[in-house]
Amino acid sequence: MRTYLVGGAVRDKLLQRPVVDHDHVVVGVRPADMLALGYKPVGKDFPVFLHPQSSEEYALARTERKTGRGYHGFAFQADPDVTLEQDLARRDLTINAIAEDEHGNLVDPHHGVRDLEQRLLRHVSPAFVEDPVRLLRVARFAARFAPLGFTVAEETMSLLQQMVRDGEIDHLVPERVWAETRKALGEAQPSAFLRVLRASGALAVLFPEVDVLYGVPQRAEYHPEVDTGAHLEMTLDTAARLAPGNDLVGFCALTHDLGKARTPKNELPRHHGHEQRGIEPLRALVTRLKVPTEYAKLAELVCREHINAHRALELKPATMLKLLTSLDALRRPERLQTFLTACLADKRGRLDHEQDDYPQADWLKSARDAAAAITSAPFVAQGLQGPAVGAAIEKARIHAIAEALHHRKAGQ
C-alpha cells in the first residue's frame, strides 16, 4: 500500500497558497483492505474512503474509459494493478496531476510544476475533451488564478473550442453548470471565467443572455469603457474585491444589466428601461440553470432596482420605503447589505470610476434603521385594528425616513 498527496493540495503548496482540502491516492490495495484498516467508504461511482482519524479523502488509484456522452458517460476501473501514473493521466490539468509521496518527493509525469512556473492551464491528455465539465473547470481555475498571471494554453483553448463545436457541452446538466458557475463567482477574478467561456464559444451556449451583452454600446459619459460586456467584467471583479468569496453578490453582479441587450437599436447608446427589460432574460437563465430561490430573488431585485439605489439621494421617502420593503430589508438587514454591495460594484465597475464614493449606501441604511424602529405596539395601544394598523405604520415609517434623511442632510 502506497499513499500519495495529490491534486489541489500539492498544487497550492507549490504556489504557496493555503491548502484547504488534502486528497490522497492509494495504490496497491482493494476496497476490502481499506475497510479492514478502518477507512469509511463514501464513494458512489468509485472507491473513495475517509481516514478514520483525519476524515481526509483517500481514493483508490483508478483509470477511466469513455462509454457515452456527458459527465456520467464513463466506466471506472480501480484495482491493485492501477499505477499512480495511470491515475494522474486521467486528470484534467497538468497542475492538478502532481503527486507527493510521504517523504515530500514529487511525481510529475505531465510537467505540472513547469506549467505552474509558466503560469499555464494546460490539459493532461487528448482525453480531456471527453468530459464537458472540464471546460467549466478550466474557466473556473482561470478565475481563481488570473491574479497570479495564469492563462489558458493555446492547445488547451483549441480543445475547449472543439468541445463546443462537437456539442459535448450540450450534455452538461444544469445543476453542474450552476455548481461550477457559483464557485467561479466566488473566485478572485470572475471576469476570467467569462473570457474563457467566450473565447471557447461556450458562453453563447451556456449563458446566451450574458454573451449578447458584448458589443452593446453605452453612453461614454457614464461608461467610459462603452462596451456593456466590458462593464459586466469590471462589475464582477469589483464585486469580488468588495465581497471576497460571496457568490451571491457575484451572481447579482453577473445578471444586473441583462436588459441592455434588449434595448432597441434606435435608442442606443441610451438604455432607458433596461432594468425592466432585464427581468425576462434573468428569469429564463435562473429557470434553465435551476438557480436557488434566494439567488434568483435577490438578483431580480438588483436587476430591477439598482438604478433606484443609485438615485437614493433623490428618492422620496415613500419610494424609499417601497424599495426597502421589496428587499424585506426591515426584517433582514443583511439582504440590504448584499443589494448595496452589488449596486456599489455596478457603480465602480466602470473605467476611471473604480474609487467612486457611494453615499447612497449610508443613505439607504439610515432610512432602513429609521423605518425598522417603527413598530405596531403604539398603534395597537391606541385601539387601531386590522388594516388601520398597517396604514398607520406605513405613514409613521415614511415620516421617520424623512426625518432621518433631513437630519443626515443637515449634518453634511
CATH code at 28? 3.30.460.10
What confidence category does residue 74 fall into, taking pLDDT thresholds of 50, 70 and 90? low
Number of domains in the chain: 1
Predicted pLDDT of residue 63: 87
- Provide the whole-model pTM: 0.92
Residue 120 has pLDDT above 70, yes or no: yes
pLDDT of residue 66: 61
CA–CA gap between residue 347 and residue 215 (Å, rounded)? 20
Confidence of residue 347 (pLDDT cuts 50, 70, 90): very high
Does 388 map to a domain? no
Question: Residue 339: which of 317, 360, 318 has the closest Cα?
Answer: 360
pLDDT grade, residue 1 (50/70/90)? Answer: confident
Q: Can you read off the three cell numbers belonging to residue 293?
A: 430561490
- Residue 268 forms part of a structural domain: no
Task: Give the C-alpha separation, 300 to 327, whole Å.
Answer: 10
Distance CA 2, CA 177 (A): 35
Q: For residue range 268-311, what is the model confidence (pLDDT) as tens digits?
A: 999 999 999 999 999 999 999 999 999 999 999 999 999 999 99
Q: Tell me what the mean pLDDT of segment 123-145 comes to.
A: 95
Query: Is 312 within a domain?
Result: no
Average pLDDT over residues 1-18: 95
Residue 65 belongs to some domain of the structure: yes
Q: Which residue has the cell 456539442?
A: 167
Q: Is the pLDDT of residue 10 over 70?
A: yes
Cell numbers for 103, please give them: 517523504
Share of the chain above pLDDT 90, in %: 90
Question: Please, which contacts does 107-111 make with residues 24 or more away whose CB atoms are closer than 8 Å?
Answer: 107/4, 109/85
Q: Is the pLDDT of residue 70 over 60?
A: no
- Helix 133-145 vs helix 154-165: crossing angle, to nearest 10: 140
Backbone φ, ψ for residue 379 (5° rounding)? -75, -35
**385 found inside a domain:** no
* Domain presence at residue 347: no
Confidence of residue 410 (pLDDT cuts 50, 70, 90): confident
Confidence of residue 77 (pLDDT cuts 50, 70, 90): confident
Instruction: Of 62-76, 82-96, 239-253, 273-287, give the lowest mean pLDDT range.
Output: 62-76
311-335 pLDDT per residue, tens: 999 999 999 999 999 999 999 999 9
106 within a domain of the structure (yes/no): yes
- Domain holding 28, by residue range, is 1-114
Which of 393, 410, 403, 411 has the alpha carbon at shortest distance from 317? Answer: 403
Do the Cβ atoms of 228 and 214 come closer than 8 Å? yes
Cβ distance 205 to 169 under 8 Å?
A: yes
* Mean predicted confidence (pLDDT) in 95-112: 96
Q: Is residue 23 part of a domain?
A: yes
What's residue 203's pLDDT? 98
User: Does the pLDDT of residue 58 top 80, yes or no?
Assistant: yes
